[in-house]
Amino acid sequence: MSIASPQAPVVAVETPFQRLRSQFLENRLATFGLILLALIIVPSVLAPWVAPQNPFDIGKLDIFESQLPPGSVSESLGITYWLGTDGQGRDVLSAILYGMRTSLVVAFVSVTGALLIGATVGLTAAYFGGKVDALLMRIVDLQLSFPAILLALIMLSVLGQGIDKVIIALIAVQWAYFARTARGTALVERNREYVQAARCLALSPLRIIFRHMLPNCMPPLIVIATIDLAHAIAAEATLSYLGIGVPVTQPSLGMLIANGFEFMLSGQYWISFCPGIALALIIVAINLVGDHLRDILNPRSAQ
């Protein structure tokens, strides 16, 4: 004997993620951006295994192999410098892969940090309203009135050099954007029925904010985070270019560009040029992906 359970007809129900994926892949440019991004990120993450040389191991650098043009073959290491070497004898390709790692780590960690702080501040302001809202949003306004690079410069000159300090400085200049967006979205969500229901159940504000409101405020925040990744990479490159970001023996993309600058006028273009192209590619790729994500996630711009 068996109780025959009514078999539900099999209907292909798309999960939200599947829908997002199919919508995303419709746009060729965005798909191209995503592939480009993967092509950049994967070798960077795997740099210690795929890079011909470890450019951070200064004991391995040979000053007699400095400033070699692309395609030169190393006499001591037996490898080919596909993108040439810089003024210290670093393989430019390896330096780009390692430098990109630094840039990506700084960008991801700082954007995540800024997202967490910004979302908390924005949701808190929206949920409580009144004086709390006014106070927090004035702090945000104050923060946004400073030019971001200037603020980061001041912070780094106080904190000193180092990757951790760059991350702290970038969080400090980015969180306000997330706070403002989170508040705007949360103001709408606050008056929805599910929040009112949660209030009637006397749930704690903490729970309402993070368990109920936050998930519904995420889409715009994700869009901002994507675009902000590109900003963070550019900002880190700017700071390192100015010589106050990462240590000189562990160059990121910005510092590689700065190091090559002095060779530019004498025709050794590759030292600055190649890291510059890499920087441009990654920013373009992230922006392509971010722009299209925004189009999909914004209901008003849906076709």
Q: Tell me which residues touch another protein (CB under 8 A).
A: 57-59, 61, 63-64, 66-67, 69, 87-89, 161, 243, 247-249, 261-269
Query: How near is the Cβ of 247 to another protein at its closest, in Å?
Result: 7
Give 108 or 269: the residue with its C-beta nearer to another protein. Answer: 269
Q: Which is nearer to another protein, 40 or 258 (CB)?
A: 258
**Could you tell me the two tokens for 120?**
């908390």
Closest CB 87 distance from another protein, rounded Å: 6
Q: Which lies closer to another protein via its Cβ, residue 23 or residue 54? A: 54
Nearest distance in Å: CB 278, another protein: 18
Query: What gap in Å lies between CA 96 and CA 278, rounded to an integer?
Result: 7
Closest approach of another protein to the CB of residue 152, in Å = 17
| Residue with Cβ nearer another protein (132 or 248) | 248
Q: Which is nearer to another protein, 61 or 111 (CB)?
A: 61
By the 8 A CB rule, do 106 and 166 touch?
Answer: yes
Residue with smaller CB distance to another protein, 66 or 120: 66
Q: Shortest gap between Cβ of 168 and another protein (angstroms)?
A: 19
What's the min distance (Å) between Cβ of 62 and another protein?
A: 8
In the complex with another protein, the residue whose CB is nearer, 52 or 162, is 162
Dist CA 293 CA 212 (whole Å) = 23
Calpha distance 267→273 (Å, rounded): 11
Dihedral of CA atoms 265, 270, 275, 280 in degrees, nearest 10, equals: 80
